[in-house]
């Protein structure tokens, strides 16, 4: 069974540009999460999808961040325009739905974003 | 609000020895889950072990075990017979019915030959 995948693995962009990160969860997982780790700090929650619906987006820093999950499958996280403080590692995770083990989240390898 | 604290930013251990990583948390919930994840250098974060708060028995997974003290809100990870491949950043995390994981700051463990 394929794990959570993320694309790209690395992205270097200039301040003011746009970047779109993609996450493909484990097949059949209803829950999809985005987290971010800024250099040297703890991993922080950004938002949570249940299928195609946003369940909780309380961790989104500001309106420069837009997340979507088309058809309840893969998800994208767009940062527009990017700022220096957006640099960090963006993790995606997925877990089963209500009928399964929804507590255990499986993580992707992360996308390392550097904004210059 | 829930918080998770890992007070040891860095630790080291000799190969084959035992090491314990500390984690404390704060919550008013009674039903929750606790996890330890590890992230080896330049590699994917993987689940090491999980503990349900309603279970009194400490979870174990091969060389990894936890000491879960619910009243003290403590959740330490013990790694026995440390191996070079255990070198990684270890994160303690809390989960309740709200859905999101709340992470500690991480402990960077180095296993030395």
Q: Is the pLDDT of residue B71 over 70?
A: yes
List the single best residue of B34, B45, B49, B97 to mutate versus A (max A Cβ within 10 A): B45
Residue B29's pLDDT is: 86
pLDDT (0 to 100) of residue A39: 83
Tell whether the model's pLDDT for residue B79 goes beyond 90.
yes
Residue A100 clears pLDDT 70, i.e. is over it = no
pLDDT at A97: 78
Give the mutation candidate from A29, A39, A103, A112 for the B interface (greatest B CB count, under 10 A). Answer: A103
Task: State percent of chain B over pLDDT 90.
Answer: 83
The average pLDDT across A27-56 equals: 92
CB contact under 8 A, A33 and B35: no
Chain A environment of B37 (Cβ under 8 Å)? 107
User: How does residue A1 score in pLDDT terms, banded at 50, 70 and 90?
Assistant: low
- pLDDT at position B41: 86
Mutate to test the interface with B, among A7, A23, A31, A42 (most CBs of B within 10 A): A42
Q: Is the pLDDT of residue B76 over 80?
A: yes
Q: Residue A91: which of A111, A71, A63, A70 has the closest Cα? A: A111
The answer to whether A103 faces chain B, any CB pair under 8 Å, is yes
Q: How far apart are CA A113 and CA A13, in angstroms?
A: 8
Reported confidence tier of residue B66, pLDDT bands at 50, 70, 90: very high
Q: Residue A40: pLDDT above 90?
A: no
pLDDT, tens only, B12-47: 999 999 999 999 999 988 889 999 999 998 788 999
Residue B103 touches chain A, beta carbons under 8 Å: yes
Whether residue B73 is predicted with pLDDT greater than 70 in this model: the reply is yes
The rounded mean pLDDT for chain A is 93
pLDDT digits 0-9 by tens, A11-33: 999 999 999 999 999 999 999 99
User: Coil, strand or helix: which one is A84?
Assistant: helix
**CB-based contact (8 Å) between A41 and chain B?**
yes
- Beta strands, E only, chain A: 5-7, 10-13, 19-24, 31-37, 43-50, 53-56, 65-68, 75-79, 88-95, 106-107, 111-115
A89 min Cα distance to partner chain B (Å):
11
A59–B100 CB contact, under 8 Å: yes
For the residues B81-105, what does the mean pLDDT come to? 92
- Mean pLDDT, residues A59-84: 94
Q: What is the pLDDT of residues A76-90, one digit of tens each?
A: 999 999 999 999 999
Interface of B with A in 29-88 (CB under 8 A): 33, 35, 37, 43-47, 50
**Closest of A44, A47, A97 to residue A75, by C-alpha:** A47
**What is the radius of gyration, based on Cα positions, of chain B?**
14
Place of tokens 């174990």: B60
């Amino acid at each position: 069974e394929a794990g959570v995948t993320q694309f790209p693995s690395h992205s270097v962009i200039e301040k003011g540009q746009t970047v779109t990160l993609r996450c493909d969860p484990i097949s059949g997982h209803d829950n999809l999460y985005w987290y971010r780790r800024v250099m040297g700090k703890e991993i922080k929650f950004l938002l949570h999808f249940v299928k195609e619906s946003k369940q909780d987006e309380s961790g989104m820093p500001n309106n420069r961040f837009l997340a979507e999950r088309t058809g309840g499958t893969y998800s994208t996280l767009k940062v527009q325009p990017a700022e220096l403080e957006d640099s960090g590692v963006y993790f995606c995770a997925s877990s089963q739905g209500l009928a399964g083990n929804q507590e255990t989240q499986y993580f992707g390898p992360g996308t390392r974003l550097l904004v210059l | 609000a829930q918080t998770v604290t890992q007070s040891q930013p860095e630790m080291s251990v000799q190969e084959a020895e035992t090491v314990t990583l500390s984690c404390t948390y704060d919550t008013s919930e009674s039903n929750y889950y606790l996890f330890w994840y590890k992230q080896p250098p330049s590699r994917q974060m993987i689940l090491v072990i999980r503990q349900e708060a309603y279970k009194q028995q400490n979870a174990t997974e091969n060389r990894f075990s936890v000491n879960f003290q619910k009243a003290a809100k403590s959740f330490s990870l013990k790694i026995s017979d440390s191996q070079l491949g255990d070198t990684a950043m270890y994160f303690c995390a809390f989960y309740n019915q709200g859905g999101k994981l709340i992470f500690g700051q991480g402990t960077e463990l180095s296993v030395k030959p």
